[in-house]
Structure 1
């Protein structure tokens, strides 16, 4: 029973609000009543487990099954709101890329507020009723810790997107409640919000098991998952965006470093050694996975192979990697790629960081029995090829997450089974290196954390040069996060918390134009893949959707710059 498919999916749609009119008290046949949930231990536990999932609130969300946390595997990935990729067919991503976000037009980013608060309310409902459930105290303690973790994760999604949030405590709002009190919509300070969530995670950590075993437990929170979320939040809390534009104190950074160290000290996780690309297509869990959503044929996600594959295979292009990202992959000797270097420019895809080949499909890359052809004229994966309306806008296609054993054509009952990794051990090592460097400078432990990622099997890049200053190490760590965590929903938040988005997100969205001469040689010319890319200071936080402001009778404060 992998991926939290849960044998009572109907509980997702539980009717929680009561009404006085008798005819409205009738529970629809596709719902489970409150009374049933609260009187049956198995149903109640199923209800709790289903809180790992959310609801569809937008177009194309949850193509195979309902959304979880974040964005995950959808048609347009969160990477396509950054300098990692651009979504070929828009799907409400260009409004973010082109700096047109407004409370009335939030694109694919518009459902985070509503889904998160709905889930928080559902967790509160379970927490309030948990003491009355007939269940062992140890069972209740486990569920209480899980609920606090899930609720903390939802607040983390709110904080990292909107900044200041409304803290609801354990309150459960019901139809008929008086919502005229402005205090119900008062947004806490960033510090208050972070302190609340960290305290909730500390409680969850104390009650969660070190490991899960058995299909009924796979995919549910563990102590390591809660500790990993704490590590991420404390890293964010010390970053410039969360401290008025200046870096956090040494104490804040040390606290973040310790949180990452605590995960490392568990001894439960290590870097995956069977290949960088295979890490994301391996079935089940493995040593690098800290917390994941597990999928299977009964609960699938978007069929990635057809959604993102080259048009020459009759696939749809999808999330097309940007030249901005491609140029940041180092050479195998650890030096920077440079178009002004004649050797690099003559063969730009040779001798690059091995993670490049596991992340990007480029011209000449081997894929499904032939080499990818994005060149003109005549390239099968260019606009001269079949299904040319799906040709990549950038000249590249996504390789990461793609499983060549899954079909491109007619994938609907076969594909969509890769696991989405919410937390993996490499992130913890990167968190530690960044926080430790900011707190103490680039000591040996910082080098060890980064070099272990660079030297593992399947990557085997040279170690970082010795003698780096704190500023130089900061740049190297930021670069390593960009490469190691590409397409995993980190870049959007990293460039914002570092407050470098006004540089990275105002760079044009570049692609490549490749021309093949009659003698078979290639020439490369950078091109604009999406016009009008723009980032303004107000975009460091998302706008709260206008409908949420209106629903509060304008008591809910909008983020600066969006009124």
Structure 2
């Protein structure tokens, strides 16, 4: 079945085992006496799938893929916060353990983990007559994948964190922070063990479930993000050949619309449906064509730094390309962004964007010249929550992760060029020069990741792992600040420190009080 998550059904499985406002404190959740009890649940495969829906429901939350995940770009050179105190505090290096975004991110990641742990424990204990061995192993593998995804982000943001492989209830004390290396090793081993239990191909009726390719890609990402490039390249390369059938979606501008959902480019996406019971998202941009132009998503905007960084079609930057500016023989003042990387116009709205009838889509001002376009819909329909799926892992990421890993392990060989140029080809950009050094190719790949994944949550994690944030985040009006080395780790939320004696005894992350 397609996993279109109904949160009323999810409440049956959550019960008191999943903590409200998840921390490790002793929060008591009072259950509805009209709900099914846990004793009457967890009996068959249908119950197990409902539990899997519950884990995915946590990904749907506005604090995660439902809205804020893509806004991590606010903390980078790609975007800037216009409104929203929590992002602005982190962006300006004024955040503290009490900053709301710090607590909210921690909460949603541990909600995923606790729900996954509960699902794994209950499915393991299901009677043999209620679920087949194959279905049991597959669902446990899916939950393990989702848990590993959350732990990768947690360890990137906080480093050492409490590590749970069993569900906690409202009366359990939280645990101390485990070493990041211990968590990473455990999650890598967990993914290795569970990959064989996932199918290579997902039937159409099961869209939204986790396939083997997603788990292979996540394991490759673990290896890459934790400085094991040779292992990462070896893990990722098979995803580019049979039996996998991944391909880049032909048109980047349509990928982030309903036309691009569950395409051959998608390895893992979170499914949203407009209408119904709280199944929609809050991250897409919807324009009512019947109204006068408005400023889109006024809480954030792309930086001129990002816009000016996109190459021209000849593969050269705007400073040296003959295709750019009034000196170009093809220059058209009404279309100043023609001849550029196609991802620019597909990712960023400008004052040159108009409706089919010629009306400007947005009324831009001098201080807000750009807006995010990715996940943009031109429509007069008013949604009860947006219908766009959010892409967590795409084939373009597989190609660029492989290229990065192989370049670090072996240098810029033919396989590296092939992977990078496949991404550039769809963007309408000339191939890389064929005489790059390893260091030059490293920068080309980093740039490609920036352009390919703008407004998709990737850039901040990249800057952290490359340890270059303080060098590339530009000061903008005094609000773009990255304080190294302190800001390479977030502070543990004050709420967690207050309610988790074991973590409090260990103390805050370095540089924080």
Q: TM-score, normalised on structure 1?
A: 0.79
1:364 aligns to what SS in structure 2? coil
Task: Give matches, 1:332-411, under 5 Å.
Answer: 332-338=313-319, 344=325, 349-370=337-358, 372=360, 381-383=363-365, 393-404=367-378, 406-407=379-380, 411=382
C-alpha deviations, 1:48-88, integer Å up to 9, x for none? 33212218xxxxxxxxx6348x4453497222222211233
Match of 2:480 in 1: 533
Match of 1:103 in 2: 97
Task: Give matches, 1:142-541, under 5 Å.
Answer: 142-169=138-165, 171-177=166-172, 179=173, 185-215=175-205, 217-238=206-227, 252-283=228-259, 284-297=261-274, 298=276, 299-302=279-282, 304-306=284-286, 312-313=293-294, 315-338=296-319, 344=325, 349-370=337-358, 372=360, 381-383=363-365, 393-404=367-378, 406-407=379-380, 411-413=382-384, 416-456=386-426, 459-505=427-473, 507-509=474-476, 528=477, 531-537=478-484, 538-541=486-489
Q: TM-score, normalised on structure 2?
A: 0.86
Query: 2:497 aligned with 1:549, yes or no?
Result: yes
The offset of 1:314, in angstroms, is 6.5
Superposition CA RMSD, Å = 3.0
Conserved 8 A contact 2:72-2:460: yes
The size of the alignment, in residue pairs, is 486
The offset of 1:185, in angstroms, is 2.9
Name the CA shift for 1:221/1:372 in 2 (closer, same or farther; >3 Å).
same
Cα distance in 2 for partners of 1:73, 1:25 equals 26
2:267 aligns to what SS in structure 1? strand
Conserved 8 A contact 1:355-1:483: yes
1:228 aligns to what SS in structure 2? helix
Query: 2:4 aligned with 1:4, yes or no?
Result: yes
Conserved 8 A contact 1:288-1:426: yes
Cα distance in 1 for partners of 2:29, 2:323 equals 75
Cα distance in 1 for partners of 2:35, 2:105 equals 24
Conserved 8 A contact 1:4-1:293: no
Gaps of 5+ in 1: 19-23, 56-64, 239-251, 374-379, 384-391, 510-527
The offset of 1:136, in angstroms, is 1.5
Match of 1:389 in 2: none
1:292 aligns to what SS in structure 2? strand
- Bigger relative contact order (CA 8 A; separation at least 6): 2
Conserved 8 A contact 1:306-1:316: no
Gaps of 5+ in 2: 20-27, 328-332
Out of 37, 42, 47, the residue aligned to residue 51 of structure 2 is 47
The offset of 1:121, in angstroms, is 2.4
Match of 1:140 in 2: 136
Name the CA shift for 1:192/1:465 in 2 (closer, same or farther; >3 Å).
same
Cα distance in 2 for partners of 1:125, 1:495 equals 33
